[in-house]
Amino acid sequence: MIRTNIDIQHLNSFGLPCLAAGFCQVGSLQALTSICEDAGFKHSQRLILGGGSNVVLAGDFPGLVVQPDWHGIQIIDQDSQSVTVSAGASEVWHKLVIWSVEQGYYGLENLAAIPGWCGAAPMQNIGAYGAEFSDVCTSVSYIDLDTLSQHSLTSDQCQFDYRTSIFKKPTAQNWLVTGITLRLQRQGNLNLDYPGVAEMLQRQNIQQPAPADVAAVITAIRQQKLPDPEVLGNAGSFFKNPIVSTNTVDAIRALHPDMPHWATGNKIKLSAAWLIEQCGWKGHRKGPVGVHRDHALVLVHYGNGSGRQLLELADCIKQDVFEQFGIDLQPEPKIIQN
Ligand SMILES: Cc1cc2nc3c(=O)[nH]c(=O)nc-3n(C[C@H](O)[C@H](O)[C@H](O)COP(=O)(O)OP(=O)(O)OC[C@H]3O[C@@H](n4cnc5c(N)ncnc54)[C@H](O)[C@@H]3O)c2cc1C
């Protein structure tokens, strides 16, 4: 069941070269148990890989890459107001969104066209267009690969926050998410506040949009704005938007009064893209890697480069932003290096 020396370049959206010492797809506790006891890989490092759209593979992987193989989307409970839906970790996220809006359910429309699989959605609490996974999640099931025991966490226990959750903690490194459960509404209010959404609906003469209309518009906007990883390797936003104190913002705004910023709780969120652009990195190319010409937040791989070259570029950007603004940018994708 474990294949050795497998090229996984086509399994990551950056298209970075990587040879995995071991690779397997597993869809049951029984299969996982035999894999975890395999003499060749029992004590080796493990990497759980979904759609590969949020990882930076910085070289060959000397351990075992485990790709979950849990499928199925089904309604497990419902009442007059809501439906509870479960999805296997290996279902493509966008497929779940499309399925839900085709049923007329509210809740996932703003999260349309985010690449990747359902099992990774809780990791960084995926979010876009004013919505987050945590808005609809009721529970997440996982298997701890160290103990081979099955668990389920309620949404509260998942500790969701901006682009993070309990699943990102080092203690959860060997937790393999097998499925997610979401509560969707039969009726609801659509969030059309994000720039461009209401305008595009209007241009299409849609007066009373349904969730499917919003998902279609957001998909179209995203396709216009973001590079397609099939054409140009990328992982979407490379850095998180920094969340800082009001004192920090005041200090920067004294020199840069036009700096965009948003209140979030009692802190302030800054635009990582704006900070990077101010440092002159937008559109900058360094050999086989670079910063997208339209999106300062999207690092790209033009081909024939390596994860190390990408990380060197990210480090230069980080350093410049720190020197100019005193802000320490944090990467959004998981960096896999040995
Ligand atoms: C063009 C583009 C646009 C994007 N836009 C957005 C956006 O708008 N919002 C947003 O939040 N993200 C965005 N992303 C990032 C990415 O789509 C999400 O983070 C997505 O959830 C990653 O899913 P994946 O299956 O590809 O995960 P992978 O890249 O395979 O893995 C990501 C992390 O999750 C872990 N993981 C994956 N599956 C499991 C599992 N079953 N159990 C345990 N751990 C697991 C991996 O070990 C890794 O640490 C974008 C990416 C691209 C390429």
Of residues 39 and 166, the one with the higher pLDDT is 166
29, 70, 71, 123, best to mutate for ligand 1 pocket (most atoms within 8 Å of CB): 123
pLDDT at 338 over 80: no
pLDDT of 250 reads 95
Give me ligand 1 centre to Cα 243, in Å. 21
pLDDT at 316 over 90: yes
DSSP state of 49: -
High-pLDDT (> 70) share of the chain, %: 100
pLDDT at 278 over 80: yes
Q: Whose CA is nearest to atom 23 of ligand 1?
A: 116
Average confidence (pLDDT) over 1-21: 97
Sheet holding 137-144, edge to edge: 73-78, 82-88, 175-185, 137-144, 149-154
Q: pLDDT grade, residue 98 (50/70/90)?
A: very high
What CATH number does domain 233-336 carry, 3.30.70.1060, 3.30.450.90, 3.40.50.1100, 3.90.78.10? 3.90.78.10
pLDDT of 244 reads 96
68 in contact with ligand 1, CB cutoff 6 A: yes
DSSP state of 39: T
The CATH classification number of 73-225 equals 3.30.465.10
The CATH classification number of 3-68 equals 3.30.43.10
Give me ligand 1 centre to Cα 116, in Å. 5
pLDDT at 287 over 90: yes
53 in contact with ligand 1, CB cutoff 6 A: yes
Q: Any idea which residues carry the catalytic annotation?
A: 163, 237, 332
> DSSP 3-state assignment of 225?
helix
Give the ligand 1 atom nearest the CA of 49.
30
Q: pLDDT grade, residue 232 (50/70/90)?
A: very high
Strands (E), 27-159: 46-48, 55-57, 61-68, 73-78, 82-88, 127-128, 131-132, 137-144, 149-154
15 in contact with ligand 1, CB cutoff 6 A: no
Angle (deg, nearest 10), helices 211-225 and 93-102 = 150
Q: Mean pLDDT for the chain?
A: 97
Domain ranges of the chain: 3-68, 73-225, 233-336
Closest CA to 241 of 309, 317, 328: 328
Give me ligand 1 centre to Cα 51, in Å. 7
pLDDT of 224 reads 94
pLDDT at 1 over 90: no
Query: What is the rounded CA–CA span in Å between residue 277 and residue 273?
Result: 6
Average confidence (pLDDT) over 224-240: 97
pLDDT, one tens digit per residue, over 248-277 is 999 999 999 999 999 998 999 999 999 999
